[in-house]
Structure 1
């Protein structure tokens, strides 16, 4: 399977095909309140660097992220509908945001192992009782 994919990629390049190279930044991007996130992930969808989800322009800032994504999916040239990754990324992003509450734990690195083992040993029934 991998060899076939490599062969297809090599043929694509030999035929003069193009590709987009992406890399990882030293500092990860936040998925919360980041109007530049989608602009950086999909520059071909936002060619002028405008219209990112969670944008700061007055007309965009009034939209919820979910509503903004649904409007992008109805865009006249269908670029958001036909893109292979945008619908998946947008839906996954909504799932992650719905499943988390932006909480985190800050721990001194010397104490991290101890804190992690204590958290892993918490009784699940106790957590459920606290949640209810």
Structure 2
């Protein structure tokens, strides 16, 4: 996990165990074990998974399971990061819990930056020792075409037992991919509607499939003359 994830605290003092308890960064053994058992019981893709309690309880429960880096700060916020209501550069609290402040680029910043400005900012970040998150993938890519297991793998909490994916051969009646998607969005419990990513992923995949099909039709050179002839000879009145 340390190869792809790290936690950075910025503040006047290093984080304490009390600070860690206020963050969602701790390994809750009972929750993880319950989730693994649920997946093993409810999802066909996890049926052969062997749960190792020894490995699970090797993760500490009071500190994050990945590397924690602390960057000391002087409590002063740079002028560009201040709001219009701030009168000085001091940013802190005299009493109560001290909040950590992380400075970085937000969507609003990126919207007004040119392409060259983004490159310059990225180079400045790396030259000052900045790091990035790298997520590995399997040796074989997952296809979005004729892959009934694709959406059950991405959304195991929506597809019971890992079944019911689109374009699967277990359907007894003819149902197109589009009709199946609409049917899912009309479920009585509305779990497909309420999920924040499901509809977006469907829309994204349909755009990819439509553009790929369009590109395929355009590049079929052997049919070019026939298509042009039909377009030139089309009956405009009928159209």
TM band (smaller chain): 0.5 to 0.7
Structure 2 CA distance for partners of 1:24 and 1:47, relative to 1, 3 Å: farther
Match of 1:84 among 189, 193, 196: 196
Q: Do the aligned residues in 2 keep the contact of 1:66 with 1:94 (CA within 8 Å)? A: no
Report the aligned-residue RMSD.
3.7
Match of 2:183 among 56, 67, 71: 71
Q: CA offset at residue 69 of structure 1?
A: 0.6
- Tell me, in whole angstroms, the C-alpha distance in 1 between the residues paired with 2:196 and 2:151: 14
- Tell me, in whole angstroms, the C-alpha distance in 2 between the residues paired with 1:26 and 1:43: 22
Q: TM-score, normalization: structure 2? A: 0.35
Q: CA offset at residue 41 of structure 1?
A: 1.1
Alignment of 1:25-36 (within 5 A): 25-36=138-149
Q: Which has the higher strand share?
A: 2
Q: Do the aligned residues in 2 keep the contact of 1:31 with 1:37 (CA within 8 Å)? A: yes
Q: CA offset at residue 58 of structure 1?
A: 3.0
Cα deviations across residues 40-71 of structure 1 (Å, max 9, x unaligned)?
111111131111011111336x2111111111
Q: TM-score, normalization: structure 1? A: 0.60
Q: Residue 93 of structure 2 aligns with which residue? A: none
Q: Which runs of 5+ in 2 are unaligned?
A: 1-7, 10-21, 36-134, 217-223, 229-239
Q: CA offset at residue 39 of structure 1?
A: 1.1
Q: CA offset at residue 76 of structure 1?
A: 1.1
Larger Rg: 2
Q: Which has the higher helix share?
A: 1
Q: Which runs of 5+ in 1 are unaligned?
A: 5-9, 104-128
Q: How many residues align?
A: 101
Q: Which runs of 4+ in 1 moved over 4 A?
A: 129-132
Structure 2 CA distance for partners of 1:23 and 1:46, relative to 1, 3 Å: farther
Q: Residue 55 of structure 1 aligns with which residue? A: 168
